[in-house]
Amino acid sequence: MKKPLILVTNDDGVSAPGIRALIEIASRLGEVIVVAPDAPQSGMGHAITITQPLRLHATNIYGAIEAYECSGTPVDCVKLAKNVLLKDRVPDLCLSGINHGSNAAINILYSGTLSAAMEASLEGIPSIGFSLLDYNHDADFSQATPYLAALIQYVLTKGIPKGKLLNVNIPALPREELKGLKVCRQANARWVEEFSESRDPRGQKYYWLTGKFVNDDPGEDTDVFALSQGYISVVPSMHDLTYYPAIPVLQDLEAFHTK
């Protein structure tokens, strides 16, 4: 049987420990091609590069595994992989991550990792974004390996609905404390932001974003709740942002005419 083709990307850069862990898992399950940013791209959301050219270079940091580093955003990486590198070969799966830090709840919007996975899903490629709730550079990405391998195998075998993706977050716990996978909805949490204000050596004021993540969502079916209980959260996600319940409510607007 032909091995599935798996595209691996991330937003922390091609040499980050998290993508290395993901490549190790993926290479046991299929043929892997890596296309990832040449520098960290955290917080890039669904940004694309339109006013500048993009560079793409092969790298041998993963030995026999075909790997490229790209000067653009995570979404650019997926677009370049599909349209320049692979062309007629469509990946069976796209894996993005493992991100250093949570992408649960609304963080899916800010996350380059999840935006790359969403871009792949828009291209019709089943995709999964992975994040570990540990910002340390020496975080241990191996604890959840059996769960992630089982999940990837499941998606390769059974698929997920067309155009959709999975947002997977992993609590920073040793293997024996991980309770398993939990399918959830996105928590309605938010960031309470502050800006640290300071002055540069020339005396000019600047601001630096900082913030606290607050979960006001009391639901026990959310990703944030599942993570707090020691589960790996799996949120099936989509790119249709329409808020359908408001469509009939807003019909009044259609009555307005200049004529």
Q: Find the binder of its own copies among 3, 28, 61, 84 (CB under 8 A).
A: 84
Q: Choose the binding region for its own copies from 27-35, 38-46, 59-67, 128-136 (rule: CB under 8 A).
A: 38-46
Phi, psi of 57 (to 5 degrees): -130, 135
230: contact with its own copies by CB under 8 A? no
Measure the CA–CA gap between 219 and 143, rounded to whole angstroms.
27
The least CB distance from residue 191 to its own copies, in Å, is 8
Select the span of 21-29, 90-98, 129-137, 191-199 touching its own copies (CB under 8 A): 191-199
Taking the least distance from each CB to its own copies, the nearer of 60 and 196 is 196
Site for its own copies in 119-178 (CB under 8 A): 122-123, 146-147, 150-151, 154, 158, 160-161, 163-164, 166-167, 175-176, 178
Q: Is 246 left (phi over 0), alpha (psi -120 to 50) or beta?
A: alpha
- DSSP character for 101? S
How far apart CA 169 and CA 50 sit, in angstroms, is 30
Type of residue at 217: D
CB of 208 vs its own copies, minimal distance in Å: 5
Picking from 110, 93, 89, the residue whose alpha carbon sits closest to that of residue 27 is 93
Among 1, 58, 64, 241, binds its own copies (CB under 8 A): 241
How many alpha carbons fall within 13 Å on the CB side of residue 46? 10
Q: How far is the CB of 104 from its own copies (least distance, A)?
A: 12
